[in-house]
Amino acid sequence: MGTAKKIQLYDTTLRDGCQSEDVSLTVDDKLSIAARLDELGFDYIEGGWPGSNERDAAFFSEVKKLRLRHARVAAFGSTRRGNLKAAQDRNLELILRAQTPVATVVGKTWDLHVREALRISNEQNLDVIHDTIAYLKKHVDEVIFDAEHFFDGAAANREFSLRCLSAAADAGADLICLCDTNGGRLPFEIEEMVRLVRSSISCPLGIHCHNDSDVAVANTLAAVRAGAVQIQGTINGLGERCGNANLISAIANLQLKMGYQCVPPARLKAMRDLSTLVYELANITPAPRQPYVGRSAFAHKGGLHVSAIQRNSRTYEHIDPALVGNGRRVLLSELAGQSNIVYKAREFGLDIDPGDERIAALLAELKRLEAEGYAFDGADASFELVMLRALGLEREHFRLVSFRVFDDKWDEDQVPFSEAIVVIDGPDGRRSRNSAIGNGPVNALDSALRKALVPYYPGLAAMHLSDYKVRVLDNGAGTAARVRVLIESSDGKRRWATVGVSNNVIEASWQALVDSVEYKLHRDHARSRLPAKARRGSAHKSRERTGRARTAIE
C-alpha cells in the first residue's frame, strides 16, 4: 500500500481571516494561533502584510521567538507598482524587512483589473510580475505567487491569464496559487481550469478560494483532484465578505475521505480544539452546526436515530467524531424515544436496564415538560436532575421557603438596582434569611441564594453564571407570554446549562438558577456515601408547583 500524497497547508487566518468585519486579533492572539498551527503540522503560516499596519509588523518580530518546529512563516504583499522597479518599491522592502523564509505576493491576472485598477497595459503587467518575483527570489528562500482573480480572468481572457502565470514561473516562483478571489466559481469550473493550467505550466500549483457561492471547500477539493498540491484558507472559514475556504473541513475531507495526508493522523484529533481556540480569540460564538467540529455535528435527537446509532454508529454518522476531536451527543425532546433515555442515563453514569418500567414514565415526563415549553436539548444538567428525581436518586441539599425581589428606580437619572431576599431551610434543618443587592433581579437572586448556601457548600463560591438567555414562547400573548430561560454556569472546571419556564421571567430564572446550583452540588458530591433521597422541594416539582414559594416584584 503506497504512502498517501502530501497536501501542503497554507493558513491565512492571521491575514485574510482578520479581514472579517467582526474579527480583530491582537499580536498575542496571533502568536497563540501560530504556535497551535505549528504543533498540528501546518506547513505555512501567513502572518500578515508588513506594510499595512504596526500590529502585523510586531507579529513578524515576535514570531521569531516562538522557534516554530515545522511551519514556515510567510510575509504577504503585492507586486511592485507599475512605475517603479522592484528594488525601489517600499512594499517589497517591508516584506524583506520581515525576514521570513517565505514571501507571498499577489498580482493581477484578470485584464479587467489591469486596465481598471492598475491602469497599465497587459504587457506592463507581465513585466511587473516577472520583475517582482525575480527580485524576491534573490533575497528569500521561497516565493509564492497568488494569482488574484485568476478564474474570472481566465473566463474573460484565458490567453492573457495564462501568460501571467508563465511570467511568474519563468521568474522563479516556487508555487503559483490560483485564486477565486470573488468566490463566484463552481467546482466543475475550478477543476477544469486547474487541469488546463497543470498541462500548461510545470510550476507547482495551489488553490485559494473565497466562499461567496458557499462552495469554497468544494472548490478546494476539486482543485486538489485536478493536481493542486497546496491549499490556502482560514480556520473556521473566517475572511472578508462570506469568508475563505474553511481549512478545518477541507483537511478532514482530504484526509478522511480522499486519501491525502495533510497533518499527521494523530494530530487530526486536535482539529476541534484548534477551531475553538480561534473562535475564542476572535471573540466569536462557535457555530454549533459547523461540519466536523461543531457542537451539533454529531448530535442526535430523533428516537429512531438514537436507537440505530447504539447498534451501529455508521447508520447516522459519516465518520467517527473522535477522529477530529469531537463527540457524539444525544438530545432530549418530544421527538425522543426510550433509546434516548437509556443513552443519556449511561452518559450520566447511571446503570439502567432498557426494560426498566421507570423509563416509560421518565419519557412521558420529558414529553410533558417539553409540551409546557421546556427544552432539554440545550440543558443537559436540568434533564440529569429530572432523571435523578425519577429514579429516586436525588439528594436534598436545601429547601426553598420563599423569595422576594424588589426593583427600585427613584428618578430618571438613577441606575435601577435590585434587592433579593431568599429564605431557605439548610441541610441541617435550620432556617435562614439572606438578602443581596444586584445589578438586576436575576443577579440579586443568584447572590442571595449562594450567600445562604456557601456556609454549607463552600465550593459554590467558585461558581458563576456565564450566559443567560430568555425566549418568549407565546408570541401572541405580549408581555403576558410564557418565557423560557436558559442559564449556562461554570465553576472553572465544568460548564453546564439549565432551563426554567414560567409566565413570570423571575420565576423561570429562579428555576434555572436552582437547577444550576443543584447540579453543581450533585456533581461535587457524586461520590459521597451519604444516602440518597428524593427532594421534597425540587425546582422542577414546582413546575407543577408554583405557589409553594411566595414571589414578589415590587
What pLDDT, in 10s, does the model give residues 121-134? 999 999 999 999 99
Q: What is the pLDDT of residue 498?
A: 94
Residues 176, 145 contacting (CB under 8 angstroms): yes
Q: What is the pLDDT of residue 386?
A: 85
Average pLDDT over residues 271-280: 92
The phi and psi torsions of 119 (rounded to 5 degrees) equal 60, 45
- Least confident range from 133-137, 271-275, 316-320, 550-554: namely 550-554
Q: What confidence category does residue 387 fall into, taking pLDDT thresholds of 50, 70 and 90?
A: confident
Q: What confidence category does residue 3 fall into, taking pLDDT thresholds of 50, 70 and 90?
A: confident
Q: Hey, what's the cell of 96? A: 524583506
The full set of domains in the chain, from first to last, is 9-282 (3.20.20.70), 399-543 (3.30.160.270)
pLDDT tens digits, residue range 315-352?
888 999 999 998 776 665 545 566 677 777 777 777 77
Average pLDDT over residues 102-112: 97
Average pLDDT over residues 156-172: 98
Task: Judge whether residue 504 has pLDDT over 80.
Answer: yes
Q: What is the pLDDT of residue 369?
A: 84
- Least confident range from 2-16, 28-42, 201-215, 339-353: namely 339-353
The span from the CA of 434 to the CA of 157, in Å, is: 78
What DSSP designation does 236 have?
G
The span from the CA of 204 to the CA of 363, in Å, is: 59
- Residue of 52 and 286 predicted with greater confidence: 286
Q: What is the pLDDT of residue 315?
A: 84
Q: What confidence category does residue 467 fall into, taking pLDDT thresholds of 50, 70 and 90?
A: confident
Q: What percent of the chain has pLDDT over 70?
A: 89
| DSSP letters spanning 362-408 | HHHHHHHHHHHT---TT-HHHHHHHHHHHTT------EEEEEEEEEE
Using CA atoms, how far residue 301 sits from 130, 334, 345, 356, in Å, is: 58, 9, 15, 21
Q: Which residues of 336-361 are buried (b: 16+ CB within 10 A; e: fewer)?
A: bbbbbbbbbbeebeeebeeeeebbee
Q: What is the pLDDT of residue 372?
A: 85
Q: What is the pLDDT of residue 476?
A: 65
Using CA atoms, how far residue 467 sits from 102, 442, 464, 496, 516, in Å, is: 43, 12, 9, 10, 12
Q: What is the pLDDT of residue 235?
A: 98
Q: Measure CA 346 to chain center.
A: 27
Q: What is the pLDDT of residue 324?
A: 95
The span from the CA of 263 to the CA of 6, in Å, is: 9
- Least confident range from 84-98, 241-255, 301-315: namely 301-315
Q: What confidence category does residue 364 fall into, taking pLDDT thresholds of 50, 70 and 90?
A: confident
Q: Alpha-carbon torsion 149, 155, 161, 162, what sign?
A: positive
- Cα-Cα-Cα-Cα dihedral of 260, 276, 177, 268, to 10°? -10
- Least confident range from 10-14, 50-54, 380-384: namely 50-54
Q: What is the pLDDT of residue 330?
A: 67
Residues 234, 242 contacting (CB under 8 angstroms): no
- Residue of 461 and 414 predicted with greater confidence: 461
Q: What confidence category does residue 426 fall into, taking pLDDT thresholds of 50, 70 and 90?
A: very high
Q: Hey, what's the cell of 230? A: 497546496
- Least confident range from 138-152, 334-348, 472-486: namely 334-348
Angle at 90 between CA 84 and CA 94, to 5 degrees: 145
The amino acid occupying position 219 is: N
Q: Measure CA 192 to chain center.
A: 33
- Residue of 523 and 13 predicted with greater confidence: 13
Angle at 502 between CA 331 and CA 543, to 5 degrees: 70
Task: Judge whether residue 551 has pLDDT over 80.
Answer: no
Q: What is the pLDDT of residue 131?
A: 98
Name, in order, each residue with C-beta under 8 angstroms of 365's C-beta and a sequence gap of 6 or more: 386, 390
Task: Judge whether residue 413 has pLDDT over 50.
Answer: yes
Task: Judge whether residue 477 has pLDDT over 90.
Answer: no
Burial (0-12, 13-18, 19+ Cβ within 10 Å), 28: exposed
Task: Judge whether residue 540 has pLDDT over 60.
Answer: no
Q: What confidence category does residue 303 fall into, taking pLDDT thresholds of 50, 70 and 90?
A: low
Q: What is the pLDDT of residue 548?
A: 33
Q: What is the pLDDT of residue 478?
A: 64
The amino acid occupying position 482 is: R
Average pLDDT over residues 280-297: 89
Average pLDDT, the chain: 87
Q: What is the pLDDT of residue 302?
A: 63
